[in-house]
Chains A and B, each alone.
Chain A
């Protein structure tokens, strides 16, 4: 089948998509956007998190056809060219990245949180990130990064 949707502001169309392919597969293998990760492909780790019409979803649980005509924003679409988004910047600065396989999903999830909630509490951050597994960091520096990004964002408002 043919699938067509907007990714990071660009209209993309791909052909010969097998009906069983996930949005994650189409992004990674057909659209040259492997930033969203494939750690479990069963909706348990959050490494594939993308925005679908502005709401974070696990791209591995969305059938490619379900994205037809909609808007997808991936981790590749967060930075403004070389200017990192404040969440991305904070992740690098705080040491929240080790192997980095969880990072794209966490960055999108944290980006959504601080869009929605000004100055989230620790409990709110933990709740928002509870669906994103990280095996390397023990989450301490991820929390630091989200706090820092939220504080910078609040200072900008």
Chain B
């Protein structure tokens, strides 16, 4: 096997940190030196550059494609269309297989891949793409998500019919509760399309192998699921595709679907040369799915003193042309549609639909983000209608341990929501506005105000997120752990297929191995498919699942070390443990060093870890115990708003999150900071703007993500109420803060302005001319 330059390699984890400590990241030094090998950094002698021709139209028929001129262009080695896809012509998540590898006769969204070029220079490939001649019959795009959900006469987007999924939830008797309610509030909410905007573009290298297969170096969230789609499309058995995870520059859900994997492999297999593909930012906006935009209608009825009696909810999620993760996103939106509140009568209808808008799928928060903006906005509305403050209304209706979600699922682990809200409320507030430094004001260095017209507001948000996969899915993980003496020191080698995407999984893998094996020296092997499935780096699940797998694999290794004790020491002990590099008996004390017990022995164990089973959602009532674990974050946001110009400055974000058990404090804080920042982005700036199915802002010039000037200082309160079923009692951390920061910030803007603000992101014109949509 020929190895490309800068292929990933074993990394020794620095320090001696156990579970609960904060050792340095194993990959940190490489990353600060610029030596960490990302998927766009790969290089190989004789490699070609691949490029993808994409549709300029959201909906059109392809009358003909002529590649002759492109193929004749000097320096071009291959031009491929759907006819060249060696195997299955479609791929897709969740066995939907509805997305063409390359468009066949028609395109269903702007940016849909049509043809591939391999050339000796990226510019040659681009010029050759310009020479591919396509005759189009342009059609009117189908972009009305509401009609797609409800109008049987609306034309179908693809073979799978609309709606992609309709998931109802029915609890109690909403009709009767409507008679009894003393206070009724309604809201219509909208969430724009958010992009993951990971910084490392889709990229990778495909190397044709001698056995007719291909070696793929890619950045993905879930190698084994990629493989299940890549192999049939290439017409190859899975064993002939060796995947290695290259450095991943962030993911946030956007790498759950395939991007360049099959394309690069097709070009490599056709040309017999290694092929590198790297999207630029413009292409990246079309190269992955986004967060589903949502249209939501809510009606709550309550008693005069604020106890909610019923919720009547409709959520429409626009998935674009292909299914991607839509089915599960709908499941989340439905099951978490009213959030962590005890409501006796519930009617929710969540729909996912196909349109010719940009394709949408997984993004951090996954279906729970959209609903959270709506239900939290409703809580504030209800508070106002009942004359209560936003914290009290939430406390009155808060779920706790033993409460039921809308699905009837009982919350089994501790959930101190009312207390978390209280903590958030009592945290010290930031100092008042200081107009002497203009940089502190909305508009900042642009000097748009000296403090006049600036009003401060405070808002709260609570989010609840399911951790791990739901609805009966067995998303297990696998870990292989080897223990041997290397250079006189007992060394643990940890090997999984789990994707390190920046979250710090490799750091805690080492911490867990040290904790369970009592050694200091841990080496992390690159993630690849030569070990079993680890599931996806999604749903905040890897600490739980791959952390759990590393733990059980280490326990198996540890047992084998104990089996060596009688061999080496001539007697048995019932009470052994591994601590501080020693084999220790609780009764007899330190027996020997781990090195002495191991000797020449190499112990290797591979184990799977499964979470406890969940059920599906009843198709009619939505009832079921569908979620593996639930995690909560509470935000308090403080904002200054220049009401004359509509400019918002988030002054402070405080977060209270229950993480069950802090495995690594620095990583936990980093996840809460980063998740909160993405929620801030959705609240006040981030949206893929679409007209007639076409994206109008596919660049970082026009799609804005928070900079260091937009992100305020954060105050964190991290709680550790263990979930007894999870390894070490931990809860997933990454997603909950992304849910709750958005509604908290919008609530604060409402507090400052008195406006309704039922759409995110909130733009300046929504504040200055609130009549605008």
Interface residues of A (CB under 8 A from B): 18, 20-21, 28-29, 32-42, 44-45, 47, 74-76, 78-79, 84, 88-89, 91-95, 97-104, 107, 123, 125-127, 129-143
Residues of A within 8 A of B705 (CB): 133, 135
Q: Residue B31 at the A interface, CB < 8 A?
A: yes
Query: In the complex the two chains form, is A40's CB within 8 Å of B667's CB?
Result: no
Query: In the complex the two chains form, is A20's CB within 8 Å of B673's CB?
Result: no
Other-chain contact of A29, B29, B31, B43, B674 (Cβ < 8 Å): B43
Kindly state the separation between the CA atoms of A134 and B282 in the bound complex, as whole angstroms. Answer: 18
Which residue of chain B has the shortest Cβ distance to A129 in the bound complex?
B708
Query: In the complex the two chains form, is A138's CB within 8 Å of B707's CB?
Result: no
Query: In the complex the two chains form, is B34's CB within 8 Å of A84's CB?
Result: no
Other-chain contact of B667, A36, A95, A131 (Cβ < 8 Å): A95
Query: In the complex the two chains form, is B199's CB within 8 Å of A84's CB?
Result: no
Other-chain contact of A130, B5, B278, B707 (Cβ < 8 Å): B707
Residues of B within 8 A of A100 (CB): 27-28, 31-32, 36, 247, 249, 502
Residues of B within 8 A of A42 (CB): 280-282, 699-701
Kindly state the separation between the CA atoms of A132 and B43 in the bound complex, as whole angstroms. Answer: 26
Residues of A within 8 A of B437 (CB): 123
Q: What are the nearest 5 A-B pairs in CB distance? A: A35-B34, A99-B502, A138-B673, A100-B31, A101-B249
Query: In the complex the two chains form, is A45's CB within 8 Å of B700's CB?
Result: yes
Which residue of chain A has the shortest Cβ distance to B700 in the bound complex?
A44
Q: Residue B676 at the A interface, CB < 8 A?
A: yes
Other-chain contact of A20, B33, B123, B282, B667 (Cβ < 8 Å): B123
Interface hit among B155-163, B295-303, B709-717: B709-717
Kindly state the separation between the CA atoms of A53 and B5 in the bound complex, as whole angstroms. Answer: 29
Q: Residue B501 at the A interface, CB < 8 A?
A: yes
Residues of B within 8 A of A138 (CB): 670, 673-677, 706, 711, 714
Residues of B within 8 A of A139 (CB): 673, 677, 706-708, 711
Query: In the complex the two chains form, is B41's CB within 8 Å of A28's CB?
Result: yes
Kindly state the separation between the CA atoms of A74 and B701 in the bound complex, as whole angstroms. Answer: 25
Query: In the complex the two chains form, is B248's CB within 8 Å of A99's CB?
Result: yes
Residues of B within 8 A of A94 (CB): 666
Query: In the complex the two chains form, is B250's CB within 8 Å of A135's CB?
Result: yes
Q: Residue B68 at the A interface, CB < 8 A?
A: no
Kindly state the separation between the CA atoms of A121 and B218 in the bound complex, as whole angstroms. Answer: 40
Which residue of chain B has the shortest Cβ distance to A44 in the bound complex?
B700
Other-chain contact of A133, B247, B502, B707, B714 (Cβ < 8 Å): B707
Residues of B within 8 A of A136 (CB): 250, 502, 670, 674
Residues of A within 8 A of B701 (CB): 42, 44
Query: In the complex the two chains form, is A103's CB within 8 Å of B32's CB?
Result: yes
Query: In the complex the two chains form, is B198's CB within 8 Å of A34's CB?
Result: no
Query: In the complex the two chains form, is B249's CB within 8 Å of A39's CB?
Result: yes
Which residue of chain B has the shortest Cβ distance to A125 in the bound complex?
B708
Query: In the complex the two chains form, is B28's CB within 8 Å of A92's CB?
Result: yes
We find that the number of chain B residues with CB closer than 8 angstroms to chain A is: 66
Q: Residue B421 at the A interface, CB < 8 A?
A: no
Query: In the complex the two chains form, is B200's CB within 8 Å of A101's CB?
Result: yes
Q: Residue B445 at the A interface, CB < 8 A?
A: yes
Which residue of chain B has the shortest Cβ distance to A93 in the bound complex?
B24
* Known contacts A98-B504, A99-B501, A92 near B29 by CB under 8 Å: yes
Query: In the complex the two chains form, is B708's CB within 8 Å of A132's CB?
Result: yes
Query: In the complex the two chains form, is A97's CB within 8 Å of B32's CB?
Result: yes
Kindly state the separation between the CA atoms of A99 and B248 in the bound complex, as whole angstroms. Answer: 7
Residues of B within 8 A of A133 (CB): 199, 700, 705, 707
Q: Residue B6 at the A interface, CB < 8 A?
A: yes
> What are 26 A-B residue pairs whose CB atoms fall within 8 Å in the complex?
A20-B123, A34-B37, A34-B41, A34-B43, A37-B38, A42-B280, A42-B699, A42-B700, A45-B199, A76-B35, A92-B25, A99-B198, A99-B199, A102-B199, A103-B31, A103-B32, A104-B32, A130-B709, A131-B707, A132-B707, A132-B708, A133-B705, A134-B708, A137-B677, A138-B674, A140-B669
Main secondary structure of the interface of A (DSSP, over half): loop
Kindly state the separation between the CA atoms of A73 and B709 in the bound complex, as whole angstroms. Answer: 27
Interface residues of B (CB under 8 A from A): 5-6, 22, 24-25, 27-29, 31-38, 40-41, 43, 121, 123, 196-201, 247-252, 278, 280-282, 437, 439-440, 445, 501-504, 666-667, 669-670, 673-678, 699-701, 705-709, 711, 713-714
Query: In the complex the two chains form, is A35's CB within 8 Å of B711's CB?
Result: no
* Known contacts A42-B699, A100-B27, A141 near B281 by CB under 8 Å: no
Which residue of chain A has the shortest Cβ distance to B121 in the bound complex?
A18
Query: In the complex the two chains form, is A134's CB within 8 Å of B199's CB?
Result: yes
Query: In the complex the two chains form, is B673's CB within 8 Å of A137's CB?
Result: yes
Query: In the complex the two chains form, is B34's CB within 8 Å of A36's CB?
Result: yes
Query: In the complex the two chains form, is B669's CB within 8 Å of A76's CB?
Result: no
Residues of A within 8 A of B281 (CB): 39-42, 44-45
Residues of B within 8 A of A130 (CB): 707-709
Kindly state the separation between the CA atoms of A101 and B200 in the bound complex, as whole angstroms. Answer: 6
Q: How far, in Å, is B605 (CB) from chain A's closest CB?
A: 30
Kindly state the separation between the CA atoms of A20 and B25 in the bound complex, as whole angstroms. Answer: 38
Contacts A127-B439, A127-B709 known; 17 new A-B pairs at CB < 8 A: A32-B5, A34-B34, A34-B38, A42-B699, A76-B34, A95-B22, A95-B669, A98-B674, A99-B200, A100-B27, A100-B28, A100-B31, A100-B502, A123-B439, A126-B708, A136-B502, A140-B673
Q: How far, in Å, is A19 (CB) from chain B's closest CB?
A: 10
Residues of B within 8 A of A129 (CB): 707-708
Q: How far, in Å, is B528 (CB) from chain A's closest CB?
A: 19
Q: How far, in Å, is B175 (CB) from chain A's closest CB?
A: 45
Kindly state the separation between the CA atoms of A9 and B46 in the bound complex, as whole angstroms. Answer: 29
Q: How far, in Å, is B701 (CB) from chain A's closest CB?
A: 6
Residues of A within 8 A of B27 (CB): 97, 100
Residues of B within 8 A of A98 (CB): 250, 502-504, 670, 674
Which residue of chain A has the shortest Cβ distance to B666 in the bound complex?
A95
Residues of B within 8 A of A39 (CB): 199-201, 249, 281
Kindly state the separation between the CA atoms of A68 and B201 in the bound complex, as whole angstroms. Answer: 28
Query: In the complex the two chains form, is A135's CB within 8 Å of B198's CB?
Result: yes
Q: How far, in Å, is B253 (CB) from chain A's closest CB?
A: 12
Q: How far, in Å, is A55 (CB) from chain B's closest CB?
A: 19
Residues of B within 8 A of A125 (CB): 708
Residues of A within 8 A of B248 (CB): 99
